[in-house]
Structure 1
Amino acid sequence: MKHLYSLTLFILLLAAFPPALAQEPLPDSAIVVPATSPYHVKAQFAGGIGFVSAGVGRSFFQDKLETDLFLGYLPESIGGDRIVTSAIKATYRPIKPLPLKTIDWQPLRVGFLVSYTFGSDYFTKEPGDKYPKNYYGFPTALHGSLLLGGQVDLTRVKKLQKFSAYYEFGSSLEYIISYIQNPKYLGPGKIFNLALGLRMKL
């Protein structure tokens, strides 16, 4: 009976203090990334959906695919008019991230964005009473864009494991088509825009 009591006490000690008895302390370089949900929030500068924008989104397939819903704002002092834009964005990571010391770099991300600009000056169907037929050729409120960029994940940085920084070069389908039709007038510098953003996992 005495041995039974000793064995029971030993098992209870193991259950109460498993890290101290069964595992050595982790070095600073081996930071354990806390479990997170598939949802995230983003803050973005520029990128064709406003001077600044904020978004919420969800990741799928082990972060290979992301979908986001953005709301952007362009102030009158910068754009000549106050412009509010909403956007739905999907980005895909075709190759694995590259581990670089304390970060993971995603060198290639491709995506597609559909944006809508609010306001009476913008339209999805060209109003026949204001402009001649096919005057614009494209809707001024609804735009589709192709995206190409990358992302840096602070995977092994203490207290910053949930954060990432990303960059995207984008161009609307209207600009791409116009460039193909008239490459001498529209150079690559005129049809592409750059977006810089921060992402935080929830």
Structure 2
Amino acid sequence: MNAYFTRCTLLIIVLCFGVRANAQQFLIPDEVILQHAGSIGYVSVGAGYKLFNNERGNLDLLYGYVPKSKGGTLHIITAKFAYKPFVITVNKLGKIYPFNPGLFFTYTAHPDLQLKFSKDNWPKGYYYWSEAIRPHLSFSNELELTKPRFIKAAGLKSLSVYSEFNSNEWYLVNYFQNVPEVSVKDVFKLGIGVRMRF
């Protein structure tokens, strides 16, 4: 499990250096993130980076944990990308981002979850997905508070609350192949979180 965890962490770091050309900028995140549920762990913590000149893009790196009592014990590494195409300015509060499409990948470090299914047990192409890596499509909404006095008093540039719906390729294929038996709530997962920008 430690070897898988190390490889995944190194891959995420390499990808991030490619997105953020300046290594010094990369080392200092723009935001700290705390999320509950949403396919990335029962509780997840991580760092967020603003992308593009308009700061409408987000790159998030998170570590998630699922305790044994909730179906674990699982350790999950997540790399997320989302874009905020629409913004609504709210006087005396800040901004609302009503619909933010995104894409993210999770890697679950567990001895029973392999990157590929064993060729010794299954013919080539029998399973087309990885046990450990899951690509997800997501859409979220976010309320970013910048105006209230307590934001400045806490030393923050902003405090955001968000919700995020997501689904992965396995859930979607399973849904379309078994529409009568699988409900929409089985396909889409919800996470809620907080972003603190310094």
TM-score (ref. length: structure 1): 0.75
> Considering only aligned residues, what root-mean-square deviation do their CA atoms show, in Å?
1.9
Aligned to 1:169: 165
In the TM superposition, what is the alpha-carbon distance from 1:162 to its structure 2 partner?
A: 1.9
Q: 1:75 aligns with which of 67, 71, 77?
A: 67
Question: C-alpha distance in 2, partners of 1:98/1:176?
Answer: 34
In the TM superposition, what is the alpha-carbon distance from 1:136 to its structure 2 partner?
A: 4.6
Count matched residues: 165
Alpha-carbon displacement from aligned partner over 1:115-152 (angstroms, at most 9, x marks no partner): 10001100121013345665654211000001111000
The correspondence of residues 4-153 of structure 1 with structure 2, limited to 5 A, is: 39-60=30-51, 61-79=53-71, 81-99=72-90, 101-131=92-122, 136-153=127-144
Question: C-alpha distance in 1, partners of 2:125/2:70?
Answer: 29
Residues 29 and 47 of structure 2 are in contact (CA less than 8 Å); yes or no, is this contact kept in structure 1? no
Question: C-alpha distance in 2, partners of 1:108/1:115?
Answer: 22
Name the SS for the 2:142 alignment partner.
strand
Gaps of 5+ in 1: 1-36
Aligned to 2:178: 182
Aligned to 1:31: none
Letter in 1 for 2:58: E
Alpha-carbon displacement from aligned partner over 1:72-98 (angstroms, at most 9, x marks no partner): 00000111x300000100010011233
Question: C-alpha distance in 2, partners of 1:192/1:91?
Answer: 17
Question: C-alpha distance in 2, partners of 1:100/1:133?
Answer: 58
Aligned to 1:13: none
In the TM superposition, what is the alpha-carbon distance from 1:100 to its structure 2 partner?
A: 5.1
Letter in 2 for 1:52: V
Distance 1:98 1:83, change over 3 A: same
Question: C-alpha distance in 2, partners of 1:145/1:41?
Answer: 22
Aligned to 2:146: 155
Question: C-alpha distance in 2, partners of 1:140/1:193?
Answer: 18
Letter in 1 for 2:35: Q
Alpha-carbon displacement from aligned partner over 1:150-180 (angstroms, at most 9, x marks no partner): 0001111112252111110000111112212
TM-score (ref. length: structure 2): 0.77
In the TM superposition, what is the alpha-carbon distance from 1:182 to its structure 2 partner?
A: 2.1
Q: 2:197 aligns with which of 160, 185, 201?
A: 201
Structure number, greater radius of gyration: 1
Question: C-alpha distance in 1, partners of 2:103/2:141?
Answer: 14
Gaps of 5+ in 2: 1-27, 152-156
Question: C-alpha distance in 2, partners of 1:185/1:137?
Answer: 22
In the TM superposition, what is the alpha-carbon distance from 1:192 to its structure 2 partner?
A: 0.6
Question: C-alpha distance in 2, partners of 1:65/1:141?
Answer: 27
Question: C-alpha distance in 1, partners of 2:41/2:29?
Answer: 26
